[in-house]
Amino acid sequence: MKIGIFDSGIGGLSVLHQALKIMPEHQYIYYADEKNVPYGEKTKEQVIGYVDEIIQFMIDHGVEAIVIACNTATSAAVKIMREKYTIPIIGMEPAVKKAIDLYGDYRVLVCATPITVNGKKMHDLVDRVDKKNLVDLVALPQLVRFAEKQEFDSEAVKNYLKEELSCFDLSQYHSLVLGCTHFNYFKDSFRAVLPLQIHFVDGNLGTLNHLKEYINANSLLPGVEYYYSGQKVEGKELMRIQAYLDRLDRMINIE
């Protein structure tokens, strides 16, 4: 099966990275909208336009299912896209319920982009699953910019996290929900500034389990094509993408 996965940038590689490990038999197209990253600082209407263009691109390239590997794009556009297109479209959902199920006796801190944090989809989710008022939200938009520069564990990153999280009594929390796929690259930096009792939770595996519902047994050969805003990635830029995937290999076992 040919599967399209896309994100505003390289954050969705964390979803592709896991897909290649648990479903290596399929063929993938990965699309990073590098021309328009970061989505989290755009208007909702702009993001809807970007997503519509990318989904049409994916359909034109023969995909049979699409994963929006971007919480911001999912929040802004997934409902509209599902109404417009018949192809299966799987979105991301911050793993708030999972965090509550695992660590629901303690507070839960959800970090995401401004669009996701302020969006109706997020607040509906929290209202639905947070019966004890344990969930707090924080926007960390600068992490997306750090990720796109391959700056993951610098003092600037750690100082940014310390400053943005300083208003929370972190001793009261046992889980941090990574509500943006870009944030998966920063587990070591988060770990450096968070108390040890706080565990990371993300929605990548849940999204891929949902994807499996649409996969049949007639798989195509594995492989990935990468696109930046419609331009096929070749040459040295593929080495940059591989560096991101290599870092995700190092991040995967940090808890």
**Tell me, what's the pLDDT at 212?**
82
Whether a cis peptide bond, with omega within 30° of 0, leads into 195 is: no
167 is catalytic: no
**Tell me, what's the pLDDT at 251?**
92
Query: What global pTM score does this model have?
Result: 0.83
Task: Report residue 135's pLDDT band, with 50, 70 and 90 as the boundaries.
Answer: very high
| Model pLDDT for residues 159-211, shown as the tens digit of each residue | 999 999 999 999 999 999 999 999 999 999 999 999 999 999 999 999 998 88
Most confident of 23-27, 188-192, 234-238: 188-192
**Tell me, what's the pLDDT at 86?**
87
Lowest mean pLDDT among 8-17, 30-39, 168-177, 210-219: 210-219
Task: Report residue 242's pLDDT band, with 50, 70 and 90 as the boundaries.
Answer: confident
How would you class 180 by CB atoms within 10 Å of its CB: exposed for 0-12, middle for 13-18, buried for 19 or more? buried
Task: Report residue 1's pLDDT band, with 50, 70 and 90 as the boundaries.
Answer: confident
| Model pLDDT for residues 41-73, shown as the tens digit of each residue | 899 999 999 999 999 999 999 998 999 999 999
| Model pLDDT for residues 65-84, shown as the tens digit of each residue | 999 999 999 999 999 999 99
Count Cβ atoms below 10 Å from residue 232 Cβ, excluding itself: 11
3-state secondary structure of 27: strand
**Tell me, what's the pLDDT at 222?**
56
**Tell me, what's the pLDDT at 213?**
72
| Model pLDDT for residues 81-94, shown as the tens digit of each residue | 999 998 889 999 99
Instruction: Give the active site residue among 180, 198, 224, 233.
Output: 180
Indicate the helix (H) or strand (E) that contains 115: helix 114-118
180 is catalytic: yes
Taking the C-alpha atoms of residue 131 and residue 180, their distance in angstroms, rounded to an integer, is 23
Instruction: Give the active site residue among 19, 70, 73, 78.
Output: 70
For the record, the structure tokens of 96 come out as 């708030």
Question: Computed from CA positions of residues 13, 185, 34, 150, in that sequence, does the dihedral angle turn out positive or negative?
Answer: negative
Average pLDDT of the chain, as a whole number: 92
Segment 226-240 mean pLDDT: 88
**Tell me, what's the pLDDT at 252?**
87
3-state secondary structure of 6: strand
